[in-house]
Structure 1
Amino acid sequence: MGNCFGKSTTQRRHDNWKATGIVALRDGGVRSIPSNLLAIAGSVRTLDLSNNSISDLAQEDLQGFSQLQRLVLAGNRLGQLPRSIGALSQLKHLALDANKLTQLPAELGQLQKLEVLLLQSNQLTLLPGALESCKALKTLNVSGNRLTALPDALGACSSLQELDVSNNQLSSLPAALGSLSKLKVLQADTNSIAAVPGQLLQGCSALHTLSLHSNPITPAELESTPGYTEYDARRRGKYDKVLAGGALLGSAGLDDGLDRLLKAPSPN
């Protein structure tokens, strides 16, 4: 047997990475993916490099991670992603929030097993149409960017259940979202949305949460949208289940996702 006490701290950590498949290097001032990871890249399933100082990824930095399922790069300084991101064929969870991304490579569409894509708090002005190939995608968060429109291609993400586009510059939502029959939650607060396409409320048969706070749309306009009655029944059904479970709604009561003007109190 080898003498584990004779190993350096670095070697022991390296051996642990290889044995567990989990590499966690959070909050360490890391500026690039450590070169000593390349030797065990094929064994790594989780790579967490969040809250570091990584500003650039070379094409070769992601090569060899053939079994990687979870990649967390949140809280860095990335301005772009290498096209080699598309080679991570086993990737299910990709966290890129709180970076400086201005665009995304079309190769993201090659991630056939991707289920969670977190892109909030970046500088994106558009999303690639190639996302339509991400058929396994369940959660997409692009809140806090600079998006002025969403691509129709999102309507092809047939597994999508949660979509957060809050705090952008959207003036509308595409009717193509009505193809998302599994969509349950759509957060679109703090935009410039004045109307919701009827196709969305009619086609998204699982939708029970639509949040449109801080938008110019009025309750009357939403309530007159085709499909609203069915959507409202699902929304109320969700709260009925919450109440049946013993949870409290709080003083605000049932949130219908809209800003309603409160009536002034009548004088005594």
Structure 2
Amino acid sequence: MGCCVSKNTDSKASRVARWRSTGIVALRDSKLKAFPNEVFDLERSVRTLDLTHNKIVEIPTDVSKLINMQRMILSENLIERLPTNLGKLQSLKVMTLDGNRMTSLPDELGQLVRLERLSISGNLLTYLPETIGSLRNLLLLNVSNNKLKSLPESIGSCFSLEELQANDTSKSLERVQSPTEYLPTWQSYFNGSIPGDGRISRF
């Protein structure tokens, strides 16, 4: 038994050492129900965190310790909400949360001023916070397969936005202005028709 414990300890230590040297924490398909505590011990070392396809329900507030993280990929979990201190992740450029159970996003989302790609498809979102307009570096926004009733007018302040994906979300939209009224350079994709505006396609 002592031998097995020693091997497990060595394996864990070597894994953490690898994470620290590469800056990449990749634990896809690991049957995790929570964030591994050792991830937070790395703090400034983490650049990419990929916990796709696990059973994680909650993102702990300690995630704010990962201040140099640029990519956070948490698709296909059971996450219901984002922590309100998410805005401390000032280096974050890519956040992927597809296929979770979120019904809303915190206003603090707007503090992620370096964010370039936000993908939140396949959730239960009924609205987006007005603060999303503060994401001036956002290039791609994917809100497909949600239950959005409308898009906030503040999205017009996302001056860098090039691509908006809302496949199978358009059916639930009650109000949406034509993207040309926001940003004429948008490349927008809607699967279905928009009430009052007709079909919106790429342009």
Answer yes or no: same fold by TM over 0.5.
yes
1:129-174 Cα offsets, whole Å, 9 max, x none, are 0000000000000010001111101111000000011212114422
Q: Which amino acid aligns with 2:144?
A: S
| Structure 1 residue 32 displacement after superposition | 1.2
Aligned length: 194
Residue 152 of structure 1 contacts residue 176 of structure 1 at CA under 8 Å; is this kept in 2?
no
Aligned partners of 2:115 and 2:193: how far apart in 1? 27
- Which one of the candidate residues 198, 202, 210 is aligned to 2:201? 210
Match of 2:59 in 1: 57
2:46 alignment counterpart: 44
In 1: Cα distance, 2:42 partner to 2:160 partner: 33
AA of the residue aligned to 1:125: T
Instruction: Tell me which amino acid in the other structure corresponds to 1:39.
Output: D
The aligned residue for residue 168 of structure 2 is 167
Contact 1:81-1:105 within 8 A present in 2 as well: yes
> Where does residue 193 of structure 1 map in the other structure?
195
User: Whole-Å Cα distance in 2 between the matches of residues 64 and 120 of structure 1?
Assistant: 26
Comparing both chains, which one has the higher relative contact order based on Cα–Cα distances under 8 Å and sequence gaps of 6 or more?
A: 2
Q: Which amino acid aligns with 1:34?
A: P
Larger Rg: 1
Tell me the TM-score normalized by structure 1: 0.68
TM-score, normalising length: structure 2: 0.89
8 A contact 2:155–2:182 mirrored in 1: no
Identity %: 35
What one-letter code is carried by the residue in structure 1 that aligns with 2:17?
D
CA RMSD across the alignment = 2.0
Match of 1:138 in 2: 139
1:101 aligned onto 2:102 = yes
Q: In the TM superposition, what is the alpha-carbon distance from 1:181 to its structure 2 partner? A: 3.9
Give 5+ residue unaligned stretches, structure 1: 198-208, 212-234, 236-268
